[in-house]
């Protein structure tokens, strides 16, 4: 029963996230959209799951990346699956594009937030339909926007500045991947919930590919790390 003043029994106050995914980064490039996310699922401060796929296809034209509560993401994927199925069953030559999927998710997220029962995720939706590239973001409180490059969580603080400097609209696929890896490497160094196993997804007019999981090479041979205690007085 949905009443304005719900009773104690049926109302769910703000939840706590249990298994969470960290940042997702995405940007437009020459042929479409590129997105990257690592495969970690953290259980608080423990990195519990290391093969979580956080980039998924939605219908013919869209790609979704999620950070936040993984179970809520699975629920969102179920809603999207239903949405796409019903769209396909019309069989009218039309199909939902990234803009429509983004709008649908915004409605879902915002309405859940208004019931004090949010889906604890930050989502990035990207895709290409009829030559038109689209990239948008929506969070657990329903805040949504479109941009040429977006990120969730720590990605906003660590990756976006890099993208603001180095992103261009005419990036080739190879340049885009290098840029993504630069951002992901930065996140790997600085975000404690990052895991060195990532997937990169690209979506173009032709279709979507999600790469096989792989790891980034990291560099730790900084002089300050060679002899870490040399400058410390009274080290213990």
Partner 1 sequence: MSSIGTGYDLSVTTFSPDGRVFQIEYAAKAVDNSGTVVGIKCKDGIVIVIEKLIASKMMLPGSNRRIHSVHRHSGMGVAGLAADGRQIVARAKSEAHNYENTYGEPIPIKELADRVASYVHLCTLYWWLRPFGSGVILGGYDRDGPQLYMVEPSGVSYRYFGAAIGKGRQAAKTEIEKLKLSEMTCRQGVIEVAKIIYGVHDEAKDKTFELEMSWVCDESNRQHQKVPEALLEEAKEAAKTALEEMDAD
85 versus 141: smaller Cβ distance to partner 1: 85
What SS3 class is residue 68? strand
Distance in angstroms (rounded) separating the CA atoms of residues 110 and 125? 16
Q: What token pair was written down for 145?
A: 């926007």
Find, among 151, 203, 136, the residue nearest to 25 by Cα. Answer: 151
Total number of residues that touch partner 1 (CB under 8 A):
6
Phi, psi dihedral angles at 94 (to 5 degrees): -105, 150
Q: Does 10 bind partner 1 (CB under 8 A)?
A: no
Strands 121-129 and 24-28: unpaired
Give the residue from 155, 76, 159 showing the smallest Cα distance to 118. Answer: 76
Q: Judged by CB, which is closer to partner 1: 64, or 84?
A: 84
Asked if 3 is an active-site residue, the reply is no
- Residue for token digits 């993504």? 180
Q: Which of residues 49-88 bind partner 1 (CB under 8 A)?
A: 78, 82, 85, 88
To 5 degrees, how large is the angle CA 172–CA 178–CA 179? 85
Q: Which of residues 1, 5, 89, 223 is near partner 1 by CB under 8 A?
A: 89
Binders of partner 1 among 90-109, rule CB under 8 A? 91
C-beta closer to partner 1: residue 43 or 79: 79
Exposure class string for 43-54: b at 16+ Cβ within 10 A, else e: eeeeeeeeebeb
- Active site residue: 3, 14, 46, 172, which one? 14
Cβ closest to partner 1, residue 88 vs residue 196? 88
Q: How far apart are CA 201 and CA 106, in angstroms?
A: 22
Instruction: Please identify, using beta-carbon distances, which residue of 82 and 117 lies nearer to partner 1.
Output: 82
- HSE on the CB side for 154, CA within 13 Å? 18
Contact set with partner 1 (CB under 8 A): 78, 82, 85, 88-89, 91
Catalogue the active-site residues.
14
């Amino acid at each position: 029963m949905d009443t304005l003043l719900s009773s104690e029994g049926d109302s769910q106050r703000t939840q706590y996230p249990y298994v969470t995914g960290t940042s997702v980064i995405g940007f437009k490039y020459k042929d479409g959209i590129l997105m990257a996310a690592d495969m970690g699922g953290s259980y608080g401060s423990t990195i519990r799951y290391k093969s979580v796929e956080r980039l998924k296809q939605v219908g013919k034209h869209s790609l979704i990346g999620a950070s936040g509560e993984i179970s809520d993401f699975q629920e969102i994927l179920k809603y999207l699956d239903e949405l796409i199925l019903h769209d396909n069953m019309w069989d009218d030559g039309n199909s939902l594009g990234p803009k429509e999927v983004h709008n649908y998710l915004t409605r879902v997220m915002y309405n859940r937030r208004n019931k004090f029962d949010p889906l604890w995720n930050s989502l990035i939706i990207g895709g290409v339909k009829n030559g038109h590239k689209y990239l948008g973001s929506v969070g657990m409180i329903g805040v949504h926007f479109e941009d040429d490059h977006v990120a969730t969580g720590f990605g906003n603080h660590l990756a976006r500045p890099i993208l603001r400097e180095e992103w261009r609209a005419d990036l080739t696929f190879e340049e885009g991947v290098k840029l993504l890896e630069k951002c992901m490497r930065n996140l790997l160094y600085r975000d404690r919930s990052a895991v060195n196993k990532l997937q990169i997804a690209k979506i173009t007019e032709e279709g979507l590919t999600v790469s096989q999981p792989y790891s980034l090479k990291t560099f730790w041979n900084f002089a300050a790390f060679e002899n870490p205690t040399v400058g410390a007085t009274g080290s213990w």
